[in-house]
Amino acid sequence: MNPFPDEPRHPLTDALDAAARTPEAEAYEVPVELVRRRVGRRRAGRALGVSAVAVLVVVGTASALPRVLPRAVEEVAADAPPECRLTLEDLASDDGAPDGWTAALTAQVAGTVARGDWPLSTSFVLESPPTVSLVSPPLGWTYGTSAVVLRDGDVVAVLDMFGAPTREEASRIAVDAEPLPFPLVTEGPAATVDCATGEPVTLPAGDYEVVATQTVGWTFEKVGGTFVARATSDPTRVTVGPDADVTSAGCGTTEELVSLTDPRANPAPFAIEIDPPAPTAGGEFLALDARVVSIATAPVSSGFTGYGRVAVAQDGVIVGGESAMPEPYVSVDLDPGESFPVIAGAPLVACGTDDTPLPPGDYEVWVMAEFDSGGGNFDWRAAGGPVPLEITE
Amino acid sequence: MADADDTLAVLARDRGRALFGYAYLLAGDAHLAEDLVQDALVRTFARRRSGFTPDDAEAYVRRAILTAFLDGARRRGRWAAVRHLVGSTSEAVRDPASGVGTGLDVRAALATLAPQERAAAVLRWCEDLTVPEVAARMGLADGTVKRYLSTAGRKLEALLGPLPDGTDEVAPLTTGRSRP
């Protein structure tokens, strides 16, 4: 309401409405089908984010790859990612680098995967020809990464990421990225997409292998120019934990969350506070009021996505919740005791399902977030909770 | 998937233009606004969200638009320092003040601001959020937001006249204005 009715409304006051009535807005329609297709590809997944985390680099070459035959076409869903239909030779067929340069990629999935997104890290190494004396080191960026999941020689799933373009395609892509020194390291969770259904999937327990292909570009600080290379990793083994970890214990236990709330055991300078939520019906979306609080004794600068991961638990077993939104990077500069909000929410459905409401009862809620400890290393983790939650009919 | 898809369809039909307008004010460019809206929708709906109403979704999408805009601006800012090394750029060089003149409007005025200033200004004076709310949305300290708003306020007042009432953080910048 304008408290000064005799004064004309300021144009900024009506700017949002006006912007929605511009000719551009009037002509605009959300490309719903395109969004649906992109959502289908990226559901529960994320593109890898660049970080400075070092991983063991083992040079692999395409020639070392075992030949893997594609699965029978009828076993691959029509809308499955195209990598489901590739052999490893196909995947590596465009590998190479110009003018005597050597490119190599290492892929690694840390630890045993229980469920949810896979923590894939890659390292792209670039070596100059031995006869070349560089005036300045190459600075590179990543165009995309494709990764397939193998079991018994079959491509059974792919990791949902921005796929690696061919070198020719990459040479035509406009770049909007910060060039970084080599090796180019990427790290982050990626969802597994089932080749048989085209949908995100929690793979059955067992041993798998991951092979990644990555396309990168680089330039030189003092010379300029743009160059493109692509490389495929050796297979790296991944173990998916037993189903019992998923079914009988829900989505894990709260043991780790409990430890994160202990400042004596957790070096992160943050804690997370959560306001107890109102009773909420099973299946409804639970929006939490949460905030990260600095427990440091001096000002601290960090960053995170702005979103927290929600865990709904009962008797120490996580039975529902949702991963954090992965993409944005929000800088946080907090004085001791200062706080700012964490966006946290989740549908109250059983974990591992899309729409099975959690039954009525008394639960507890946790929120966890990962923070940048410096240089893009998200190895500070903070948790808040438990706070009680009553789920109603 | 049906619930989320229906929510997407409803949101796109009923609020698509409003979301575009929000992105348009932030970005100042229609094509970039389209990209921001589309990317924000994908980010929001890529997470399965049963029981997600269009209102819930719109709040998430708006946040995603803002964070994508700020994140993109941050990356472009860092990239700008070295992008000349990669040769020509497809982005046309734009004089931010060129749109200000006889066709003066809010978007042209906002285009004179740096991305963070523009985001703060849109949230504060177009969305009518408080400074702490703006700070929370942008993930910044209150003081940082006040600094952005102070700078933005000076520029906007020079182009659009005194800012809306209740803008205490820049009130000293407005001289000769009296309230009843």
Closest CA to A346 of A370, A361, A366: A366
Alpha-carbon gap, residue A68 to B81, rounded angstroms? 44
B78 vs A contacts (CB less than 8 Å): 178
Q: Which amino acid is at B165?
A: D
Residues A302, A304, A308: CA angle, nearest 5 degrees: 135
The total of other beta-carbon atoms located within 10 Å of residue A111's CB is 9
Alpha-carbon distance of A353 to A291, in angstroms, equals 28
The SS3 call for residue B27 is: helix
**Bridge partners of residue A253, in order along the sequence:** A317
CA-based nearest distance B160→chain A, Å: 8
A280: which chain B residues are within 8 Å (Cβ-Cβ)?
none
d(CA B98, CA A81): 45
- Mean of the per-residue pLDDT values of chain A: 77
Among A349, A320, A319, residue whose Cα is nearest residue A249: A319
What tokens were used for B97? 């003040």
Cα A386 versus chain centre, distance: 25
Whether the full predicted model's pTM is greater than 0.90, yes or no, is no
Helix (H, G, I), strand (E, B) or coil at B35: helix
Q: Residue B17: what pLDDT?
A: 93
More confident residue, B17 or B85: B17
Per-residue model confidence (pLDDT) at position A371: 87
Instruction: Check residue A110 and give its pLDDT.
Output: 64
Residue A40 burial (CB count, 10 A):
20
Q: Is B86 on the interface with A (CB under 8 A)?
A: yes
The answer to whether the beta carbons of residues B145 and B120 sit under 8 Å apart is yes
pLDDT value for A68: 39
Q: Do B25 and A15 count as a contact with CB atoms less than 8 A apart?
A: yes
Least confident of A250-264, B67-81, B117-131, B164-178: B164-178
B16·A28 Cβ contact <8 A: yes
Nearest-by-Cβ selection for B86 from A19, A36, A226: A226
Report pLDDT for A271.
94
The phi, psi pair for A392, rounded to 5°, reads -105, 175
CA A203 to chain centre: 18
Residues of A in contact with B125 (CB under 8 A): 10, 12-13, 15
Give the nearest partner residue to A328 out of B67, B76, B156, using CB atoms.
B67
Percentage with pLDDT > 90 across chain B: 12
Q: Supply the pLDDT for residue A327.
A: 53
**Residue A32, pLDDT score:** 87
DSSP A43: T
- Residue among A17, A35, A175 minimizing CB distance to B42: A35
Chain A contacts of B16, Cβ < 8 Å?
Answer: 28-30
> What confidence score (pLDDT) does residue B16 get?
93
Query: Measured between CB atoms, does B159 come within 8 Å of chain A?
Result: no
**Chain-chain contact of A343 with B63 (C-beta, under 8 angstroms):** yes
Q: Is the Cα dihedral B21, B24, B30, B33 positive or negative?
A: negative
Task: Say which of A19, A226, A285 has its CB closest to residue B49.
Answer: A285
Q: A54 or B114, which is more confident?
A: B114
Nearest to B37 among A18, A30, A178 (CB): A30
Q: What is the pLDDT of residue A164?
A: 87
Q: A with B: how many residue pairs have Cβ under 8 Å apart? A: 208
The answer to ipTM > 0.85 is: no
Taking the C-alpha atoms of residue A199 and residue B150, their distance in angstroms, rounded to an integer, is: 49
pLDDT at A114: 60
pLDDT, tens digit (0-9, with 9 covering 90-100), for B147-167: 888 888 888 888 887 776 655
- Closest CA in chain B for residue A40: B46
Q: What was the pLDDT predicted at B20?
A: 94
Positions in chain A short of pLDDT 50: 1-5, 43-74, 243-250
Q: pLDDT band at B122, cuts 50/70/90?
A: very high
Contacts of A22 in chain B (CB under 8 A): 21, 24
DSSP B114-161: -HHHHHHHIIIIIS---HHHHHHHHT--HHHHHHHHHHHHHHHHHHH-
The answer, for B10 touching chain A at a CB cutoff of 8 Å, is: no
pLDDT, chain B, mean: 71
Q: Residue B54: CA atoms inside 13 Å, Cβ hemisphere, count? A: 12
* Residue from the list A39, A329, A333 with its beta carbon closest to the beta carbon of B42: A39
CB-CB under 8 Å, A19 with B22: yes
Residue whose structure tokens are 């680099």 = A57
What H or E segment, with its residue span, contains residue B69? helix B54-80
- pLDDT value of residue B121: 92
Which span out of A115-129, B34-48, B90-104, B119-133 was modeled with the highest average pLDDT?
Answer: B119-133
Task: Kindly report the length of chain A.
Answer: 393
Give the separation between CA A18 and CA B127, rounded to whole angstroms.
13
| Amino acid at the residue A205 | A
B2-40 confidence digits (pLDDT tens): 455 578 888 999 999 999 999 999 988 888 899 889 888
Q: Give the confidence band of B84 by pLDDT, cuts at 50, 70, 90.
A: very low
Higher pLDDT, B101 or A304: A304
Question: What pLDDT is attached to residue B155?
Answer: 86
Contact B47 A21 (CB under 8 A): no
